[in-house]
Structure 1
Amino acid sequence: MKNSGKSSKTTAKKAGRPAGTGFITELDRYLFGQGTHYKIFEKLGAHPRTYGGKPGMYFAVWAPHAKSVGVVGDFNGWDPEASPMKPLEDSGIYEAFIPGLGTGELYKFAITTKDDKILFKADPYAFSAEFRPGTASITTDISGFSWSDEKWMEKRKHTEPEKAPMAIYEVHLGSWRKASRPEKDGYYTYKEAAHELADYVVKMGYTHVELMGIAEHPYDGSWGYQVTGYYAPTSRYGGPKDFMYFVNYLHKKGIGVILDWVPAHFPKDAHGLADFDGEPLYEYADPRKGEHPDWGTKVFDYGKNEVKNFLIANALYWVENFHVDGLRVDAVASMLYLDYGRSDGNWVPNQYGENKNLEAIEFFRHLNSVLTGHMTGAIMIAEESTAWPGVTKAPEEGGLGFTFKWNMGWMHDFLEYMKLDPYFRKFNHNKMTFGITYATSENYILTLSHDEVVHLKCSMINKMPGFPDDKFANLKAGYTFMMGHPGKKLLFMGQDFGQYHEWDEKTALDWYLAEEPQHRDLLKYYSDLLHIYQKYPALYRLDSDWNGFQWINANDGDRSIFSFIRRDETGKKNLLFVINFTPMARDDYRVGVPKSGTYTLILDNEHGLYKRGEHAFSKRSVKSECDGQPYSFAYPLPAYGTAVFRFN
């Protein structure tokens, strides 16, 4: 970007102050001030318009503390005085219309503060932004995309997410694959990624893709969690309509799209939201509330209507304009607790002397009510790492109104168990059983996310103990337990084929490993699990209902074997899971079952999924008490053995 941070002389004709264009009405200003203008992004920002019979570009920005504001760009030599904006009474909004200006132009707002400093700020509502290290916004028209995902969108309206299968593939587009070209660091474009990613996801059996870091951000190392352009799909992979193509294509292939969304905090970059008009505007003014000491970022002011409107409208923008199926809300706990990451004496209690952020609680209830009410079938997912009650309960019942919550407790216990040498697992058996005791308290997603395979935590395969053969066998057993456990599923990219090294956003996954025998076998096995998961409603219909799960033996700690049943409402095609977490084979393992009948093996760790026509064996239960059940049958359970049986 040329001279984007400096004032310069220009020969361009200076635009006069408009008397008021009428593009932002009194009603717009009122709703924005109330925090209920859910399409404010159609008014603030930059939009192609016709005014006085002349086509051009209309600009509007909220900067109530500014002394004056101007639009700057290549079109006027970045001169703060060339295109002044007019304040609209009692709203803090400035507007300007520049005739003859089209799309594709770099621009910023030149904000003169009360102490006569000039700040060059990117547009908070910009639909497109410059590729890093550039920091300007780009005039863009996002209208006119031809959607063809009607079948998906109609199906979504009639889907009950809690009772539907959800196996999420978490993806960082910039490092999923790389193209052999120098432009933009070899990033795949949205269009390129759409085709290859869809093929992979369909073949594997995932139901959804969750994308990290799609909103514009300046620093790759933030992974997209320090956002400067909340309304702009990152230019790393293309423009807004390219991202629309991505979502549209995945929908046509039957794949849902979830975005990571960050309303918790934002960075202090000079062109961003921090001290936007010379004073705290989007953030709390008191640094004890307005700054995250651990992250070096600013905290949104959830008590300010215009700020809440900015965020709630942004959530609706992604779901409505880009047909996104849901948002995974990052760092929810940091928003709910006033003392999150803060030492004693460095946080401000609420009016009751407590550490709960009452404004953030109200924000979540408002947000989730509006989004799930406006967009039927869209989901909201909370990354909430504490035991906050009622995260997925309705606001009218005292909850926060999310559809799902990441089960961080299960993830922690599961990984601690899986990292143990098998000898010591018998002393930690409860780490794998404890999750069931609270499985119905929320609508959960079991997550093995990017956060668990970075910062010296090791990849999933290298968390496993033992020699290579043991590592792969352990991971098969762990993934089988995860697939059988109540809750939707999420796995980060590369962990399905056993990526060795930790995830690095700068490099692509080691896809060559997926062709090596052990990795290929693990990948096929995880795909088999995914296909079983989608095929059998017992694995997803009653995730939050005690009727959907039954322990057969939760107490076989000495042998580190777990057995349990999953059911749906019909009682047909129930599944029995048996999982051995030691290298000791049990040649005549006997498992208790509740009824007389035939139990057919449909998957094990040696063969994977038994397809139709293959000769998987069946066992007829006999009247012989075992595991507290009236019937039982015996079969050979190998080292690290997994077995899934179907029965009616």
Structure 2
Amino acid sequence: MNKRINDWINWVLYDELIAGKLNAPKHLLGIHEYGEGQIITAYRPHAVEVKVTSRTGKKVHTMEKVTDEGFYAIFFPKKEFSGTKYNLVTTYEDGTTVTTADPYAFDSQISDFDSYLFAEGKHYEIYNKFGAHPMTIDGVKGTYFAVWAPDARRVSVVGDFNMWDGNLHPMQLRPNGGIYELFIPNVLSGAVYKYQILTRYDEILYKSDPYGNQAQMRPDNGSVVADLTTYKWKDTAWVNKRKTYSRTDRMKMPMTIYEMHLGSWRKKVEDDDSGFFSYRELAPMVADYVKDMGYTHVEIMGIAEYPFDGSWGYQVTNYYAPTSRYGSPEDFMYFIDYLHSKGIGIILDWVPAHFPKDAHGLGRFDGMPLYEHPDPRRGEHPDWGTYIFDYGRAEVANFLIANALFWVEKFHIDALRVDAVASMLYLDYGKQDGQWLPNENGGNENLDAIKLLQNINAVMEEKNPGAFLIAEESTAWAGVTAPASMNGLGFLFKWNMGWMNDFLEYMKMDPYFRSFNHNKLTFSLSYTYAENYVLVISHDEVVHLKCSMINKMPGSEPQKFANLRLAYGYMYGHPGKKLLFMGQEFAQPREWSEARSLDWFVLDNPLNQGVQRWVKALNNLYNANDALYANDSDVMGFEWIDCDHPDKGVVSFIRRGSTPSKQLLFICNFVPVEYDNYEVGAPCFTTYKEVLNSDDVQFGGAGRLNSGKIKAIDKKTERMPYSISVTVPPLSTVVLEYDYTDVTPEDILKKKEAEKKAAAAKRAAEKKTAAKKTATEKKDVETTEVVKKEPEKKTAATKTKETVSKTKPAQTKAAVSKKTTKK
């Protein structure tokens, strides 16, 4: 052995390398300056020869085999190679030759500042550092790996590129923070890998990458190297427009959501666990259907990778990887991009409340509680058999905050629906006495989770304006949708679970008993403005023997369908955004199952077709009339007309929008009794027009409609100043439209009297004008006659004068003659 090599080698590190315990391999392997020269070392078990060459191959040097375990080294008296500008050419016992750049010659891609921000819980783009990232460094293509495992003794990258041998690519532990990293040349997109972790107790674990962007198709569970930078997005205009929306804007916008499970909406091959359509195949199918039905958004269940189909995606092992069941991450990007091109928003279910105990997942990641709280009273859900995140640990909080941002920034998701928020807020959720630990104040509130949720919402609003979060929160926790700056949790919307539970209980009752449970129908209006609500009929309501929506309804088959149309009509009239789970829009009879397609074949039944057309009509009415959404969170948006007669089973109410025009009046009849000439209070003295009726034949009803104009009469009701008379079919929703006016019957009477007086005055004026005209005309005639006589007189006088003039000379001549004679 070369003495220089022997003197340079740290034999303690060498022993750790051979024992598989070395967590600082760059201190032993790679290229190192040694005096005026340099030394290069490599660890290649089962190799028969290792050479060092220049990138061009012009320089070739054979390395010395230092030990039989496969440790090779070479010393150069002067610097022969610069930085990473060399390759290792390894020949193995089977004759295989592998040429690669040296992984241990490359610098770390994580800075001290990255480590500092992560330790503070404020590295909101940590997903660009951790995980597996294909990149080119110094002209060498490969993948950069980084993982947080502070309690590990050693971490190696293993995969199909190194025979899953943990000895070949041990990772370098950075000085602070428990971060391991390594750049491995020639590992490209599509490579399968895991982290092999040696615990403090000498246990070997194989873990998938917590920050990995793709995973193998179950039952395999390795991570897959994926490049998220190659997809060319086409939704720039959509994203830019989204940035202009404020919280208030969103509250006043329409939102009718179609909740979907992609794998069972439609299946490519039935009775096949892998018979799914791909993201790319689903994109036009989903977009066309959702757009035709009038939905504004889709909410997608179960996208982050999960091992068990029956969990529906709510027990996640890979938070940064869209499930491979339907394709690659790039395929999922295409799906989102395509729906955006059709004007459809995307809401993604997100699960920060808990995670499963699968061996390859986050649980006991480095042999110790890392992502989960170390105290089982804080760190486990006994009923669910899952771990709870340690929300107070800065790095764990960073993992979750960055993950929420990741889906919005990398995949252009518009909103996240946060699952099981109540289980995060309460330390005793689902636990018996002795199974939970109070907070520092002795209460049951999870202060760390509260702080995390506030932070997530605040950071999301700051970094991605227009994107928002929705809470599935089932308790009366105050301020769920209040801004974090006002000590609220900061969500924009909250699922209205109270309304859902009460309303479905009410609808399941025989109509006879509904009158005794009237409060279940009306109680939600007493708190509807306490939060910004989404009215939901979700997947949880149509599984596990709860029955599908149509089979929750009482009565004969026609009555079941009438009840369901009535229920949806009342739901769309009630304040709050709307969500309906797939299959319920066409009254699927069977409960939902993730293992099969929806029962599309039932659309051969005209009654199912009718419900589907009814939901489409409701969506169209909703989108066309801001009375149904603009004032969801304002008391002026809703007013009862009549909710005081449970014995009749009929309620009526008003929905108001941003203008006096196109306001809506709902009449809902919850009993199988038809009411003819039914008197309903009216808010103003005007004309009303029926715009929707669930009893219309096209929806499966009997066609008992209100045609033509419906005029209000001057008759007060208990709540309204006027009345209208309408036909209300049994088990129906009737919707009338009107333009609000302040004009009263007295105003109309005064107006008529004024018009009458004006008309009389006009007639008098006209008569007077006519009289004047007649008089004027008579005078004109007389004047004309006078004018005519005067010329005649003038003519006679002129003639007389002329006669006189003619006779005067003769007379004068005679006189002269007389005078002459006298002389």
**Taking structure 1 as the reference length, what is the TM-score of the superposition?**
0.96
Deviations 1:484-532 (A, max 9, x none): 0000000000001000010100010000112320000110011100100
| Equivalent residue letter for 2:419 | D
Match of 2:726 among 635, 638, 645: 635
Counterpart in the other structure of 2:142: 56
1:10-409 equivalent positions in 2, closer than 5 A: 18=104, 21-159=107-245, 160-180=249-269, 185-409=274-498
Counterpart in the other structure of 2:737: 646
Q: Which structure 2 segments of 5+ residues have no match?
A: 1-43, 47-91, 93-97, 700-704, 740-823
| Equivalent residue letter for 1:621 | A
Deviations 1:528-573 (A, max 9, x none): 0010000000000010110100000011200111100000132221
Distance 1:108 1:634 in 2: 72
Distance 1:46 1:235 in 2: 17
Counterpart in the other structure of 1:532: 621
- Measure how far apart 1:180 and its partner are: 3.4
SS state at 2:562 partner: helix
Distance 1:184 1:504 in 2: 13
SS state at 2:135 partner: strand
1:554-565 equivalent positions in 2, closer than 5 A: 554-565=643-654
Counterpart in the other structure of 1:601: 690
- Measure how far apart 1:428 and its partner are: 0.6
- Measure how far apart 1:55 and its partner are: 1.6
Counterpart in the other structure of 2:23: none
| Equivalent residue letter for 1:38 | Y
- Measure how far apart 1:182 and its partner are: 8.5
SS state at 1:636 partner: strand
- Measure how far apart 1:51 and its partner are: 3.1
Q: Quick check: 1:338–1:355 contact (8 Å CA) kept in 2?
A: yes
How many corresponding residue pairs?
A: 638
Distance 1:531 1:370 in 2: 35
Q: Quick check: 2:210–2:319 contact (8 Å CA) kept in 1?
A: yes
SS state at 1:355 partner: coil
- Measure how far apart 1:588 and its partner are: 1.6
Deviations 1:385-420 (A, max 9, x none): 000000000111110000000000000000000000
Q: Which has the higher contact order (CA 8 A, sep 6+)?
A: 1
Counterpart in the other structure of 2:764: none
Distance 1:209 1:268 in 2: 30
Distance 1:161 1:338 in 2: 32
Q: Quick check: 1:16–1:84 contact (8 Å CA) kept in 2?
A: no
- Measure how far apart 1:186 and its partner are: 1.4
- Measure how far apart 1:43 and its partner are: 0.3
Q: Do structure 1's residue 551 and structure 2's residue 637 form an aligned pair?
A: no
| Equivalent residue letter for 1:66 | A
Deviations 1:184-215 (A, max 9, x none): 62101101111111111011111100000000
Q: Quick check: 1:292–1:341 contact (8 Å CA) kept in 2?
A: yes
Q: Quick check: 2:610–2:698 contact (8 Å CA) kept in 1?
A: no
SS state at 1:392 partner: coil
Match of 1:458 among 523, 542, 547: 547
SS state at 2:688 partner: strand
- Measure how far apart 1:49 and its partner are: 2.2
Distance 1:98 1:152 in 2: 38
- Measure how far apart 1:617 and its partner are: 2.2
Counterpart in the other structure of 1:4: none
SS state at 1:185 partner: coil
| Equivalent residue letter for 2:503 | F
- Measure how far apart 1:47 and its partner are: 0.7
Q: Which structure 1 segments of 5+ residues have no match?
A: 1-7
| Equivalent residue letter for 1:244 | M
Distance 2:530 2:250 in 1: 17
Cα distance change on mapping 1:353 and 1:171 into 2, 3 Å: same
Distance 1:217 1:117 in 2: 25
| Equivalent residue letter for 1:131 | M
Deviations 1:33-88 (A, max 9, x none): 11111110000011112334322111110000000000000111111111110000
Distance 2:99 2:439 in 1: 52
SS state at 2:721 partner: strand
Distance 2:100 2:147 in 1: 19
- Measure how far apart 1:331 and its partner are: 0.4
Counterpart in the other structure of 2:13: none
Cα RMSD (Å): 1.8
Deviations 1:589-618 (A, max 9, x none): 1100111001110000122799xxx99422
Distance 2:209 2:472 in 1: 28
Distance 2:531 2:228 in 1: 38
Cα distance change on mapping 1:416 and 1:615 into 2, 3 Å: closer
Q: Do structure 1's residue 431 and structure 2's residue 520 form an aligned pair?
A: yes
**Taking structure 2 as the reference length, what is the TM-score of the superposition?**
0.76
- Measure how far apart 1:284 and its partner are: 0.1
Deviations 1:257-286 (A, max 9, x none): 000000000000000000000000000000
Distance 1:151 1:609 in 2: 38
- Measure how far apart 1:183 and its partner are: 7.7
Give the structure with the higher percent helix. 2
Cα distance change on mapping 1:16 and 1:182 into 2, 3 Å: farther
Q: Quick check: 2:106–2:183 contact (8 Å CA) kept in 1?
A: no
Counterpart in the other structure of 1:5: none
- Percent identity at matched positions? 55
Distance 2:376 2:716 in 1: 65
Q: Quick check: 2:103–2:185 contact (8 Å CA) kept in 1?
A: no
1:464-479 equivalent positions in 2, closer than 5 A: 464-479=553-568
- Measure how far apart 1:641 and its partner are: 2.4
| Equivalent residue letter for 2:737 | R
| Equivalent residue letter for 2:551 | N
